[in-house]
Amino acid sequence: MARTLICDIVTPEKQIFSEEASFVSAPSISGEVGILPLHAAYVSVLKAGQVVVKYPDEKNSRYFAISGGYLEVKDDEVIILADSAIDIEDIDKASAEESLAKVSECLEGLDDKDSEVYKMLKSQKDFLELQLYLTK
Amino acid sequence: MANLRDIKKRINSVKSTKQITHTMEMVSSAKIRKATERVQASTPYYKAMQRMLANLTDGVTDSEQGLLKTHEEVKNVTLIVIVSDRGLAGAFNTSVLHEANNLRKKYLSEGVEVEIIIAGKKGIPYFKYREVLPSLVYSDQSADPTIDEAREISAHVRDAYQKLETDKVILLYNHARNAADQDLTVEQVLPVDVDSIEKEEKESKFAADIEFEPSSQAVLENLLPDYVDTKIYHGLVDSAAAEQGARRRAMKSATDNASDIITTLQRQYNSARQAAITTEINEIVGGAAALED
């Protein structure tokens, strides 16, 4: 049996995923990173995008949408700390579209583009758009 | 006899109170499980973040990073007070609020301005009565805190800290030690106190070998605000779990007290009834004796 990684995906609210994997790829802010077993200790900042986890059988993979966060690799353990994350299969297209419309409407009502509320809504909007994009 | 009826009435009223407190106890027991699960679900993230931060700040003594830097002079202090929206939870809210008020008095006597942020409805009347105006109030979420609420509070204090409007941010909440006991917890949020984390989570063996991308400074800059968010969120969920525990305990003792009162009243009722019967028999016997003469 080849060496494997333990991959955890956690958000502040809950642990989304924790299983063995042979390969993990994540969207770091300076480009996509792929992690294989025996990777050096590594910490990186992630942007919004897709996380791919390949199972040790090399056939099946799981896909997650994340809205940004951190990646930590140490001793064949990959921890992805995501601000929010969702399994792509769990994305409900209709409700995502609905919330996107709502968030966009709220955003248009705001003038102060530097305020924390604006930033928060903007990142929500980006995340919803990403979810819709990935389910296409 | 009027006395008998009065006692009966009291028994009934205590009985219905007991029913209510018993139901509340059951409801809280059910909610404890959910609240504890949420604490457990949020713990891996919090722990991983602490570990990362400890590794990052290892060797950084006095960082230029705004949130890490201690302000030389403490002139303004912000207290974040986490209480519940509902009462009937024993000393749950009072203990936090008293501690907050004591801290406030202590700082005021040192000539330090104090700003108060309240999460939970029960804090509002307490400070209103003491004529303290909280700068921010969050309510109706104590049983169901969200990360967004924590982010709002955190964004506010981070802004204030970096603009030098506040020099220290302190978080007060009840920590749920287990389902029955709560510990009053006072933690410093800002400046981020790295030393306290390092004691628990330090793994310095690896710290030097970790590669950071884009750079350790950049990661740190990103991580600190998120760490503050998480810390406040953790306080909120912990307090929510503690609230249910405190309420169950308070309601359990209320139910027990009601049972005791009912027992006492029932005895009084029985002896009053017996006295009434005895009097009646005496009267009948007396009446019959009078007729025989």
Length of chain B: 293
* pLDDT given at position A125: 81
Tell whether the model's pLDDT for residue B247 goes beyond 70: yes
Question: What is the band of B265 on the pLDDT scale with cuts at 50, 70, 90?
Answer: very high
Q: What percentage of chain B carries pLDDT values higher than 90?
A: 20
* pLDDT given at position B255: 95
| Mean confidence (pLDDT) of chain B | 84
Token digits of residue B197: 């984390």
User: Are both A69 and A114 inside the same structural domain?
Assistant: no
* pLDDT given at position B59: 56
Mutation target for A interface from B226, B229, B231, B234: give the one with most A CBs within 10 A: B226
Question: What is the band of B208 on the pLDDT scale with cuts at 50, 70, 90?
Answer: low
> Each residue of A12-25: pLDDT tens digit?
888 888 888 888 98
> Each residue of B67-122: pLDDT tens digit?
777 777 888 888 888 888 888 888 888 888 988 889 888 888 888 888 888 888 88
User: Are both A107 and A72 inside the same structural domain?
Assistant: no
Determine which of A75-84, A105-114, B6-15 has the lowest per-residue pLDDT on average: A105-114
Question: What is the band of B197 on the pLDDT scale with cuts at 50, 70, 90?
Answer: low
Whether B99 is covered by a domain: the verdict is: yes
Q: Do B206 and A43 count as a contact with CB atoms less than 8 A apart?
A: no
Q: Do A29 and B214 count as a contact with CB atoms less than 8 A apart?
A: yes
**Which residue from B minimizes the CA distance to A117?**
B152
Mutation target for A interface from B159, B209, B211, B231: give the one with most A CBs within 10 A: B211
CATH number of the domain that residue B180 is part of: 3.40.1380.10
pTM of the model: 0.82
Which position has the higher pLDDT, A94 or A54?
A54
All residues of chain A having their beta carbon less than 8 Å from the beta carbon of residue B56 are: 43
User: Are both A78 and A98 inside the same structural domain?
Assistant: no
CATH number of the domain that residue A23 is part of: 2.60.15.10
Long-range contacts of B193-200 (CB under 8 A, 24+ apart): B194/B53, B194/B54, B194/B57, B194/B60, B194/B68, B197/B50, B197/B53, B197/B54, B198/B54, B198/B57, B198/B58, B200/B50
All residues of chain A having their beta carbon less than 8 Å from the beta carbon of residue B214 are: 29-30, 45
Token digits of residue A45: 């900042």
User: Are both A51 and A14 inside the same structural domain?
Assistant: yes
Tell whether the model's pLDDT for residue A68 goes beyond 80: yes
Tell whether the model's pLDDT for residue A102 goes beyond 60: yes
**Which residue from B minimizes the CA distance to A73?**
B210
* pLDDT given at position B22: 94
Tell whether the model's pLDDT for residue B56 goes beyond 70: yes
Domain range enclosing B165: 27-248
Category of B164 on φ-ψ map: left (φ > 0), alpha (ψ -120 to 50) or beta: left
* pLDDT given at position A97: 81
Q: How many domains does chain B have?
A: 1
User: Are both A17 and A58 inside the same structural domain?
Assistant: yes
User: Are both A37 and A69 inside the same structural domain?
Assistant: yes
DSSP B103: H
Which position has the higher pLDDT, B55 or A114?
B55
Whether B95 is covered by a domain: the verdict is: yes
User: Are both A77 and A131 inside the same structural domain?
Assistant: no
User: Are both A20 and A46 inside the same structural domain?
Assistant: yes
Query: Mean pLDDT across the stretch B251-272?
Result: 93
What is the signed CA dihedral for B207, B213, B214, B215, rounded to 10 degrees? 0
Q: Do A12 and B229 count as a contact with CB atoms less than 8 A apart?
A: yes
Helix, strand or coil for residue A65? strand
Whether B274 is covered by a domain: the verdict is: no
**Which residue from A minimizes the CA distance to B215?**
A44
* pLDDT given at position A114: 67
All residues of chain A having their beta carbon less than 8 Å from the beta carbon of residue B44 are: 8, 10, 15
Determine which of A1-5, B20-24, B203-207 has the lowest per-residue pLDDT on average: B203-207
How far, in Å, CA of A29 to CA of B177, rounded? 39
User: Are both A49 and A113 inside the same structural domain?
Assistant: no
* pLDDT given at position A60: 85
Q: What ipTM goes with this model?
A: 0.77
A·B CB contacts under 8 A: 82
User: Are both A63 and A116 inside the same structural domain?
Assistant: no
* pLDDT given at position A106: 80
Which position has the higher pLDDT, B273 or A3?
B273
**Minimal CA separation from B7 to chain A, in Å:** 52
Domain range enclosing A131: 92-135
* pLDDT given at position B199: 53
- Angle B288-B289-B293 from CA coordinates, rounded to 5°: 115
CB of B166 closer than 8 Å to CB of B115? yes
Tell whether the model's pLDDT for residue B206 goes beyond 70: no
Interface of B with A (CB under 8 A): 38, 41-42, 44-46, 48-49, 52, 55-56, 147-148, 150-152, 155-156, 159, 206, 209-214, 218-219, 222-223, 226, 229-230, 233
Nearest neighbour of A81 by CB, restricted to B45, B155, B213: B45
Q: Do A45 and B213 count as a contact with CB atoms less than 8 A apart?
A: yes
Whether B119 is covered by a domain: the verdict is: yes
**Minimal CA separation from B172 to chain A, in Å:** 20
Length of chain A: 136
* pLDDT given at position B69: 76
Query: Mean pLDDT across the stretch B195-216?
Result: 63
User: Are both A96 and A82 inside the same structural domain?
Assistant: no
Nearest neighbour of B42 by CB, restricted to A12, A28, A33: A12
Q: How many domains does chain A have?
A: 2
Token digits of residue A89: 């299969």
By DSSP bridging, strand A23-28 and strand A42-54 are: antiparallel
Query: Mean pLDDT across the stretch B219-234?
Result: 85
User: Are both A117 and A73 inside the same structural domain?
Assistant: no
